[in-house]
Amino acid sequence: MSVGGKLRQNLNVKARLSTTLKSWLPILQSGMTELEETLSSIAEENPYAHVQSQITQSLQSKNYQKSQSSSRNTQTDRMDSVSIKEQSLYEVLEEQIDSKLFPTAISQNIALKIIENLNEEGYLDTPVSEIADELGISESEVERVRTRFAYLEPYGIGAKDVIESFLFQLQQCDLDGEDYELASQIIKDLHNHNRYKNHASYNVVMKVIKSFKNPPAIEFGAREAEVIPDIFIFERIKTDSLKNTAYELEVSINDAYYPKIVIEENIRNAHSHKESADFLKNKLKEAKDLVDALDMRKATILKIAIALRENQYDFFMGGEIRPMKLKDIAQDLGYAPSTISRAIANKYLECDRGIFPIKSFFTAAIDGDTSNASIKDFILNLVKNEDRKKPLSDLKILKSVEEKFDLKMVRRTITKYRQQLNIASSSERKRLYDMSV
């Protein structure tokens, strides 16, 4: 082949790729609720391509299509969730403030005041002392009422942090005896749950803990936004030939909600002679490119989901999210970070622990290669290993962070990170330590 022929061939290949990519990038970036509209706008003037909606039918059923072996939620659970969608978290809680749990007028007033001070995740991030001062009562009275929130639904509500929320939820589960005690120990030492692996009840207990909601009001936030996940990562039981059972994480795409592109090739005779053969040929090619672009979207998101399963395995098994950057997963998958950024924009993942924005599994850079998740993880370890008689102040945490990561920060940033981690202030932690909480 001549040099000119090779050049023309290369240009033709690039032209084909650029046509598909032109469709692929906006399709990749669209969230599940926007995908059908994006496809329809691209196919609007193409006589060969027709977009068939899957969302309408899927929304009517309110039943995400998951593997039967991996689904934890029954159809009844799903319908129960839908039935209370019209109510806000606070309305649902206020309906439960009755004489059974709160027999006196003052206890009901305290409970309602606690509800007023819950954040959107369901945690109490207002100091108990402020509530007590506002009501003119002692902190111990507020705490006595707050402990009864362990019996309110959604379970775990009213806790100060994730550990206490899990302990609230533990009170409502079916574990008892030694299993209950083991679960309590693991929750209080959640970062090191692997150290309990040799315990005979470890798998049973971890299965229960992984079913706990974090944050406790996560389902209310998801309902309000009408979130449709792109991918599922659920645990399922695998049995080998010797009938030994093990748990593994199964990754799948939410195919039930994906629009379908139908190509009708036998339309040539239905069009007038004014439309040239070249025009129809190009339109048919564009229709096929659109199908390829949608398939590329699925393949790309599935690759990211598999990478998330590998990199965030501990989270899906009940632990914490690990620091992870876009560039790390981009290098592993052979994509540019900008492509990964497009692929996770407006996308959600559903797992046994709830529905999460995919971007929440990635961390933003603070300085160079330092991520905010790395700093948060460092703060967690500092607090975890601090002297309980002299808890670290935000200023002392700041100095440790600056020394560790060789960067300059301000104290209010540390305070913000501490609050995001649901870590109480140093004075509050000291009080909790004294109470052995």
Helices 177-188/202-209 angle, 10° precision: 60
What region does 420 belong to: left with phi over 0, alpha with psi -120 to 50, or beta?
alpha
Q: List the single range of 168-172, 184-188, 284-288 with lowest mean pLDDT.
A: 284-288
Whether 193 maps to a domain, the answer reads: yes
Look up residue 371 and give its two tokens. 């991520």
Q: Which residue has the higher pLDDT, 70 or 134?
A: 134
Q: Which pLDDT score, from 0 to 100, does residue 165 have?
A: 93
Q: Name residue, tokens 């004014």.
A: 274
The span from the CA of 228 to the CA of 157, in Å, is 24
| 230 φ/ψ angles, rounded to the nearest 5 degrees | -85, -35
Domain extent, residue 375, equals 365-434
Instruction: For 89-107, write each residue's pLDDT tens digit.
Output: 888 999 999 888 999 999 9
159 domain residue, yes or no: yes
Q: Answer for the pair 347, 301: CB distance below 8 angstroms, yes or no.
A: yes
Peptide bond preceding 154: is omega within 30 degrees of 0, i.e. cis?
yes
The pairing of strands 245-253 and 365-367 is unpaired
Given a cut of 70, whether residue 311 has pLDDT beyond it is: yes
Determine the pLDDT at residue 12. 43
Same domain, 203 and 93: yes
Domain-embedded: residue 181: yes
Tell whether 237 is covered by a domain. Answer: yes
For residues 254 and 285, membership in a common domain is answered with: yes
Dist CA 136 CA 211 (whole Å): 39
* 193 and 305 co-located in one domain: no
Residues 94, 221, single domain; the answer is yes
What is the model's pLDDT at position 71?
39
Give the pLDDT score at 55: 60
**pLDDT above 70 for 70:** no
15 located within any domain: no
As a whole number, mean pLDDT of residues 386-407 equals 88
Strands of 168-286, DSSP E? 231-239, 245-253, 260-263
Please give the radius of gyration of the chain, using alpha carbons only, rounded to the nearest integer. Answer: 27
**Residue 397's pLDDT band (boundaries 50, 70, 90)?**
very high
What pLDDT, in 10s, does the model give residues 335-382? 888 888 888 888 889 988 888 888 888 765 444 445 577 788 889 989
> Do 302 and 389 sit in the same domain of this protein?
no
* Averaged pLDDT for residues 249-269: 81
Domain total for the chain? 3
Q: Which two tokens stand for residue 323?
A: 């620091």
DSSP letter (8 states) at residue 78: H
Q: Which residue has the tokens 């290669």?
A: 369
172 within a domain of the structure (yes/no)? yes
User: Which pLDDT does position 307 carry in this prediction?
Assistant: 92
Where b means 16+ CB within 10 Å and e means fewer, 177-201 reads eebbebbbebbeeeeebeebeebeb
CA-CA distance, 61 to 393, in Å (whole number)? 51
pLDDT at 411: 81
Residues 236 and 349 in one domain: yes
- Whether 67 maps to a domain, the answer reads yes
